[in-house]
Chains A and B, each alone.
Chain A
Amino acid sequence: MNVNVQFREEGDLLLGFIEGEIDTFTAPTLRDELNSICISEGLFIELDLLNVSFMDSTGLGVFVAFYKKVMRENANLKLVNLSGRLTRLFEITGLSELMDIETIKKGD
Chain B
Amino acid sequence: MKAFDYIEIRIPSKPQYVSVIRLTISGIATRIGFSYDQIEDLKIAVSEAVTNVVQHAYSDNEEGEIVISSALYNHKIEIMVSDYGNSFTFEEIKSNIGPYREDENIALLREGGLGLYLMESLMDEVRVNNEGGVTVFMTKYVTREQVNENVERITT
Q: Does A21 contact B (CB under 8 A)?
A: yes
Main secondary structure on chain A at its contact with chain B?
Answer: helix
Q: Mark A35-69, 1 if CB is under 8 A from B, else 0.
A: 00000000000000000001011101110110110
Q: Which residues of B contact A7 (CB under 8 A)?
A: none
Contact-residue bracket for chain A: 20 to 34
B99 touches A94 (CB 8 A): yes
Q: Which residues of A contact B109 (CB under 8 A)?
A: 64, 67-68, 98
B106 touches A56 (CB 8 A): no
Which residues of A in the span 55-106 have a Cβ within 8 Å of any Cβ on B? 56-58, 60-62, 64-65, 67-68, 71-72, 85, 89, 92-95, 97-98
Q: Does B28 contact A (CB under 8 A)?
A: no
Min CB–CB distance B14 → chain A (angstroms): 8
Q: Does B62 contact A (CB under 8 A)?
A: no
Q: Does B22 contact A (CB under 8 A)?
A: yes
Q: Which residues of B contact A92 (CB under 8 A)?
A: 99, 118, 121-122
CA distance A33 to B10 in the complex (A): 32
B55 touches A94 (CB 8 A): no
Q: Which residues of A contact B40 (CB under 8 A)?
A: 85
Q: Does B71 contact A (CB under 8 A)?
A: no
Q: Mark A9-29, 1 if CB is under 8 A from B, else 0.
A: 000000000000101110000
Q: Mark B113-127, 1 if CB is under 8 A from A, else 0.
A: 011011001100000
Q: Does B78 contact A (CB under 8 A)?
A: no
B101 touches A25 (CB 8 A): no
A97 touches B19 (CB 8 A): no
- Enumerate chain B interface residues (CB-CB to A < 8 A): 15-16, 18-19, 22, 37, 40, 43-44, 47-48, 51, 54-55, 99-102, 104, 106-107, 109-112, 114-115, 117-118, 121-122
Beyond contacts A54-B47, A98-B104: 10 other A-B pairs, Cβ-Cβ < 8 A, are A25-B19, A67-B109, A68-B106, A68-B109, A71-B107, A92-B118, A92-B121, A93-B100, A93-B117, A98-B106
Q: 10 smallest A-B Cβ distances: which pairs?
A: A94-B99, A94-B100, A25-B15, A57-B114, A56-B47, A61-B111, A97-B102, A24-B51, A24-B15, A65-B111
